[in-house]
Amino acid sequence: MVGGGQGAFIGAVHRIAARIDDRYQLVAGALSSDPDRAAASAAELGIDPTRSYNSFAEMAKAEAARPDGIEAVSIVTPNHLHADAAVAFLEAGIHVICDKPLSVSQAEGLRIKQCLQESSAQFFLTHNYTGYPLIREARDMISTGKLGKIRVVQAEYAQDWLAEPLETTGQKQASWRTDPKATGGGGAIGDIGTHAYNLVHYITGLEAQELAADLTSFVPGRAVDDNAHIWLRFKGGAKGQLWVSQVAVGNENALRLRIYGDKGGLEWEQENPNILWFTPLGGLRQRLTRGSGALSEAATAATRIPAGHPEGYLEAFATLYNDVADVLIHNKSADHLPNIMDGLDGMWFIEACIASSKNNGSWCERNL
C-alpha cells in the first residue's frame, strides 16, 4: 500500500475491503511521506520493518526485485501523488489498484495510460459504489432493456461536513481536499462528483457528449468549489442533471440516482443501498431488495449474506477487491470494473466543469 498511514481515512477502508473476502495479505507499504510516521504506521499494521519504505519509488524497485515481492499495490494517497506512484509500479510490472479520481489532470492521466500500455501489469480504479449489488442489478436491468431508451438521469451527491471552514483547523482530510494543488483544482466535483458521474455511466452505459456547470465556493476563503450544479447532454439524446454539494446541511452521504426510460424508471439511495425501486410504465412501483432470489446473476454474485441482513459501504468496496482478485488470479473478465478510461473520463469531467463555470456556464464538449 502507498499512503494510508496514521491519520488517513481511505487507507483503512481499502485494507478492510481487501480482507473481507480473504483474498489479500498486506505485506509491504510506503504508508507516509514522513519516515517516522511511515515506520510507526507499518508497525501498527504488522508489516515487517524491512518492507516498510520511505517512498513509493523505493518500494516499487525493491518489491519488484524480491522473489516474494508484492503482486499488486493499492494507491490511497491524495490525488496529486496518484500518477507518479502508479507509473512507478506499472513500470515495475506490479498491478495497480488506485483510489479515485485518477489524478489531477487529463495530462497526468494520459501519462498513466501510456505507461499501462507498455506494462505487463493491469490497472484498476476504485469507484467503490459500483460494487453495490443493487447498482449491479440496475445496470443489468438497463442493459437488458427493462427501462427502454433512457431519457432522463438525475444524480445528486450531498454532504454537509464542509459547511464550515474545517480546513482552517488543521483537520487532515479537509486540508488536502480543499487544496487545489493536491486536488488539481476541483473540490466537491472531484471528491464526490466523480463518483456520481461515474455511476451514471456505469449503470446506464450512456456517454456524455457535453456538459455545462455552475461551481460555487460558499465558504469564505475556500479555494475550491463546495457546491456544483451540472447539466449533461448524452450521446443518443438523453439529458442529465447532477447536483454535488459538501455544504448541504442535514446531508451526511446522500448519493441518490433516478433514471427514467420510455418503459420504466429506477430510484436508488446509497444511505439505504439494499433497496432499489422500479416502476414499469403503466405498472405498480416495485421494491427490489438485495439478496432476493429474483435478482440478476450480476447482483447475486455481489451478495454475501441472506436477504434482510444489511450489506453496505465496506462490502461494496470489498466486492471490487474480490473482483480484481478474480481477474488477476483466474483471468476473469474485467469489463464490469472501473478502469483507466473511466479515470480519464473523470478527469475530463472535472476539467470541463471548471472550464464551463469560469466561462459563465458555457457548454464544454467531451474530448475523449
29 beta partners:
52
Q: Are residues 159 and 98 in the same domain?
A: no
Query: How far is Cα of residue 18 from the mean position of the Cα atoms in its chain?
Result: 15
Return per-residue pLDDT of the chain as tens, 368 residues: 999 999 899 999 999 999 999 999 999 999 999 999 999 999 999 999 999 999 999 999 999 999 999 999 999 999 999 999 999 999 999 999 999 999 999 999 999 999 999 999 999 999 999 999 999 999 999 999 999 999 999 999 999 999 999 999 999 999 999 999 999 999 999 999 999 999 999 999 999 999 999 999 999 999 999 999 999 999 999 999 999 999 999 999 999 999 999 999 999 999 999 999 999 999 999 999 999 989 999 999 999 999 999 999 999 999 999 999 999 999 999 999 999 999 999 999 999 999 999 999 999 999 88
CA torsion 93-331-70-103 (nearest 10°) is: 60
CA distance 130 to 135: 6
Q: Are residues 196 and 59 in the same domain?
A: no
Residue type, 99: D
Q: Are residues 107 and 137 in the same domain?
A: no
Evaluate whether 261 touches 142 at the Cβ level (below 8 Å): yes
Evaluate whether 67 touches 93 at the Cβ level (below 8 Å): no
Does residue 109 lie in a domain region?
yes
Q: Are residues 35 and 160 in the same domain?
A: no
Evaluate whether 209 touches 235 at the Cβ level (below 8 Å): yes
CA distance 94 to 65: 11
Q: What is the rounded end-to-end Cα distance, in angstroms, of the chain?
A: 30
**CATH number of the domain that residue 198 is part of:** 3.30.360.10
pLDDT for residue 12 = 96
Q: Where are the alpha helices (DSSP H) in 21-105?
A: 35-44, 56-65, 82-91
Choose one of 126, 149, 164: the last residue of a domain: 126
**CATH number of the domain that residue 90 is part of:** 3.40.50.720
Q: Residue 38: in which H helix or E strand, if any?
A: helix 35-44
Choose one of 126, 160, 193: the last residue of a domain: 126
Domain count, the chain: 2
Q: Where are the alpha helices (DSSP H) in 185-285?
A: 188, 194-204
Q: Are residues 106 and 141 in the same domain?
A: no
Q: Are residues 153 and 39 in the same domain?
A: no
Q: Give the pTM.
A: 0.96
Q: Are residues 121 and 137 in the same domain?
A: no
pLDDT for residue 368 = 84
| Residue entry with cell 501523488 | 81
Q: Are residues 44 and 78 in the same domain?
A: yes
Q: Are residues 244 and 279 in the same domain?
A: yes
Where in the sequence is the domain holding 28, given as residue range(s)?
Answer: 10-126
The DSSP letter of residue 281 is T
pLDDT for residue 293 = 87
Compute the C-alpha angle 360/365/366, nearest 5°: 130
Choose one of 126, 160, 177: the last residue of a domain: 126
pLDDT for residue 296 = 97
Evaluate whether 6 touches 37 at the Cβ level (below 8 Å): yes
Q: Are residues 55 and 150 in the same domain?
A: no
Q: Are residues 245 and 146 in the same domain?
A: yes
